[in-house]
Amino acid sequence: MLRPVLRLCFIGTVIFMIFFIVPVSTVSAASDDTVRVGIPYDISTVNMLEIKLGSDIPVVLLMHQSLLIPHPETGERIGALAKSFEILENGKKIKVTLYQGAKFHTGDPVTAHDVKFTYDECANPSNGNLMAGALDEIEEIEVKDDHTLIFHFWEAYAPWEELMWLGICSKKYYEKVGPEKFRSNPVGSGALRFVERRIGEHVLLEVVKGYPLYDVEGYPEETYNYKYLKVITVPDDMTRLAMLETGELDLVGRIQPHQVKRLKRNKHVTIKKSDQVPSLVGIAFLPYTDPVMMDRNLCLAARYGINRQEIVDKILLGEGYPLYMYASRAELGYDPNVAYEYDLEKAREFLKKSSYKKGTPLTFTYTSMVPNAPLIAALIQQYLQRVGFTIKLQQLEEGTAATYTRNRDKRLGHMRLYEWPGSRDPDLRLRLSSLSTSDYATVTNRPRREEYDKLILAQTREMDKAKRADLIRQIQDIMSYDAIGAILYGQNMIYGMSDRVDYTWTPKEAYFPHLQRIKILK
């Protein structure tokens, strides 16, 4: 594997390319042995080695078991293929011991050689894997025996657990059938095995009886009363909800608050919610468009002039919470005590002290990536105009906005509405969007830039959890003082199911987790 350099920009491109618009096929009501899940995007691949989109992860991991997984009830990390982890040399090495008895769907045992093969291929630039940049932290993977291996890192790497979710692939099967057959008919050791994939339509998986085939400490027993899981692509929100109401779909996620009332009228639909999911919506200020966006007084005017609680109440209908820092409830570093009140008069005073010239139009850009983006943008425009700003709204396609961000193109405007689902660890987001040398950093010349960048890099290497938490707090303090940009809110995950099934979201997960745990009730 390569020495860590700036390959994080590739991951950023991937993160911005989450959703697709594809045709939807007609499906019939669910048969007794099949559970149907509706998603708004097409699964781009079922091959772990070539996974490029975060939205592919839930399906790929159903087929491919990982070293670590979230506990389905608590969300805390537990071993899956890995029985134990031992930190060596203060974090520069991680020794992994595998459970014995785990098997691929071919019947072949899962070994340390398969783990090394999977990580090496995912890090291979030719595969274009979304984890390729992050895996540059690994210098080498040393296989000690069939059930023991050591991850050698270039330097101590505190968020090493965030690299242990890759679904392990069969080296023997890959070498036997070659990359083309492996791509179209993958083999893993997960709870479900691959049956078929129809591009733009669905992925069909079959339950593996007796999974897992080995004792996993702390993992709840799996019991299945269905045979197949069908993940169906339905891009249109209203079509997806209609199919849930008619019983053509059993489970749908990312339901928007204004859609809940309609669904509750249907006695055959159950609605569940979770606020323990990674969710962060904010406004990025873009100083490369105009240096005035670095003016702290202007930034404070925007911060105090936006009524976050009203956004949550009016647009999210209470299904969310105001955010005042660059971390969601599900993330390391979140502090519920960080808050400041909406204060229009204070906002106006700050704007008067700033270098902003009254009447100068500031362009506020939004894309469809943020749910209800037109409504959110229009409300933000009203808030800022009450303060004294002149705001011009601009809607862009997400791919165009991502390109403008990477190229620091002034056509992106002065401010941009964004959403970052994120994860439980802030490292990747900090290095990708906040480190001044990153391709996706919107602010490259903070007043305390040198100190800020050092803190970001230091928290990556600090293995002591308490010390790392303090470093992350210092980063948040600098962000808060600079006030460049405005964090707005986090949104609850609302998901619905037919009364035929039952399912509960796993805390701290951004995409459908543990779909194999769906239970048929009828």
Residue 403 placed within a domain: yes
Residue 3 placed within a domain: no
Please measure the distance between the N-terminal and C-terminal CA atoms of the chain and give it in whole angstroms. 50
Instruction: Give the model's pLDDT for residue 405.
Output: 87
Domain range for residue 128? 8-275+494-520
Same domain, 12 and 133: yes
The backbone torsions φ and ψ at residue 230, rounded to the nearest 5 degrees and listed phi first, read -115, 115
Answer whether 462's CB lies under 8 Å from 87's CB: no
Instruction: Round to whole Å and give the CA distance between 284 and 272.
Output: 31
The H-assigned helical ranges of 39-170 are 57-63, 112-123
Same domain, 368 and 409: yes
pTM beyond 0.95, yes or no: no
Q: What is the mean predicted confidence (pLDDT) over 207-232?
A: 80
Same domain, 476 and 511: no
Q: 25 falls in which pLDDT band (50, 70, 90)?
A: very low
Is the pLDDT assigned to residue 17 strictly greater than 50? no
Instruction: Round to whole Å and give the CA distance between 484 and 427.
Output: 20
Greater confidence (211 vs 213) lies with 211
Q: How many CB atoms lie within 10 A of CB 370?
A: 19
Q: How many CB atoms lie within 10 A of CB 315?
A: 20
Residue 308 placed within a domain: yes
- C-alpha distances (whole Å) from 409 to each of 67, 356, 402 are 41, 21, 10
Same domain, 376 and 482: yes
Greater confidence (77 vs 111) lies with 111
Is the pLDDT assigned to residue 22 strictly greater than 80? no
196: Cβ–Cβ under 8 A, 6 or more apart, which residues?
A: 203, 204
Cα 328 to the center of its chain, rounded Å: 12
pLDDT in tens, 322-359: 999 999 988 999 999 999 899 999 999 999 999 999 99
Residue 204 placed within a domain: yes
Lowest mean pLDDT among 17-21, 135-139, 198-202, 231-235: 17-21
Instruction: Give the model's pLDDT for residue 224.
Output: 81
Same domain, 246 and 305: no
Instruction: Round to whole Å and give the CA distance between 18 and 419.
Output: 11
Which amino acid appears at position 126 of this protein? S
Greater confidence (307 vs 52) lies with 307
Is the pLDDT assigned to residue 13 strictly greater than 70? no
Residue 330 placed within a domain: yes
The CATH number of the domain where 39 resides is what? Answer: 3.40.190.10
pLDDT in tens, 486-505: 999 999 999 999 999 999 99
Q: 15 falls in which pLDDT band (50, 70, 90)?
A: very low
Q: 130 falls in which pLDDT band (50, 70, 90)?
A: confident
Instruction: Round to whole Å and give the CA distance between 303 and 324.
Output: 9
Which amino acid appears at position 455 of this protein? L
Which amino acid appears at position 1 of this protein? M
Same domain, 349 and 459: yes
What percent of the chain has pLDDT above 70? Answer: 93
Tell me the longest C-alpha to C-alpha distance in the chain.
71
Same domain, 294 and 392: yes
Is the pLDDT assigned to residue 19 strictly greater than 70? no
Instruction: Round to whole Å and give the CA distance between 258 and 495.
Output: 13
Instruction: Give the model's pLDDT for residue 445.
Output: 92
Same domain, 258 and 287: no
Most confident of 58-62, 397-401, 423-427: 58-62
Which amino acid appears at position 4 of this protein? P
Q: How many CB atoms lie within 10 A of CB 339?
A: 11
Q: How many CB atoms lie within 10 A of CB 181?
A: 13
Q: What does the block give as tokens for 344?
A: 């229009």
Q: What is the mean predicted confidence (pLDDT) over 37-61?
A: 90
Q: What does the block give as tokens for 488?
A: 């707005």
pLDDT in tens, 156-179: 999 999 999 999 999 999 999 999
Residue 2 placed within a domain: no
Same domain, 242 and 160: yes
Instruction: Give the model's pLDDT for residue 16.
Output: 36
Instruction: Give the model's pLDDT for residue 449.
Output: 96
pLDDT in tens, 221-263: 777 889 999 999 999 999 999 999 999 999 999 999 999 999 9
Same domain, 374 and 341: yes
The mean pLDDT of the chain is: 90
- C-alpha distances (whole Å) from 58 to each of 145, 392, 409 are 30, 39, 34
Q: How many domains does the chain have?
A: 2
Residue 233 placed within a domain: yes
Residue 266's closest CA among 277, 278, 252, 280? 252
Instruction: Give the model's pLDDT for residue 368.
Output: 86
Same domain, 296 and 357: yes
Same domain, 389 and 425: yes
Q: 31 falls in which pLDDT band (50, 70, 90)?
A: low
Is the pLDDT assigned to residue 211 strictly greater than 90? no
Sign (positive or negative) of CA dihedral 84, 115, 424, 316: negative
Is the pLDDT assigned to residue 214 strictly greater than 70? no
Q: 114 falls in which pLDDT band (50, 70, 90)?
A: very high
Lowest mean pLDDT among 200-204, 461-465, 470-474, 510-514: 510-514
The CATH number of the domain where 288 resides is what? Answer: 3.10.105.10
Greater confidence (517 vs 307) lies with 307
Residue 422 placed within a domain: yes
In three-state secondary structure terms, 140 is strand
Residue 95's closest CA among 76, 108, 82? 82
Q: What does the block give as tokens for 219?
A: 């993992």
